[in-house]
């Protein structure tokens, strides 16, 4: 899980201010583990919310893949597209 959190912190490289919150989608077979860590993920990933899903299909997200999950951070923040 640590690699997942570390990957989401790379938003600074994309010039996204820490005050800007984005949704974090987590695709995993370990749903209960990630639900238990939801508050921690919101804080450490600077996310507005964590959504646990079976799949996530879009080209409008940054994806971080580990053995435990695939995390997707949306590139839309309050109707503004990040470039």
pTM: 0.71
Structure tokens given for 6: 């570390």
- pLDDT over threshold 70, residue 23: yes
What digits encode the pLDDT tens for the residues 29-43? 999 999 999 998 888
Distance, in Å, from the CA atom of 41 to the CA atom of 48, rounded to the nearest integer, reads: 10
Give residue 82's pLDDT: 46
Domain ranges of the chain: 2-10+21-81
Q: Answer whether 32's CB lies under 8 Å from 1's CB.
A: no
Distance, in Å, from the CA atom of 47 to the CA atom of 19, rounded to the nearest integer, reads: 10
Better pLDDT: 82 or 72: 72
């Amino acid at each position: 899980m640590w690699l997942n959190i570390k990957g989401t912190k790379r938003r600074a490289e994309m010039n996204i201010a820490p005050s800007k919150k984005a949704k974090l989608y987590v695709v995993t077979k370990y749903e209960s583990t990630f639900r238990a860590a939801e508050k921690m993920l919101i804080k450490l990933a600077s996310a507005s919310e964590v959504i646990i899903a079976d799949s996530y299909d879009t080209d409008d997200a940054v994806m971080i893949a580990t053995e435990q999950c695939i995390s997707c951070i949306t590139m839309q923040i309050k109707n503004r597209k990040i470039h």
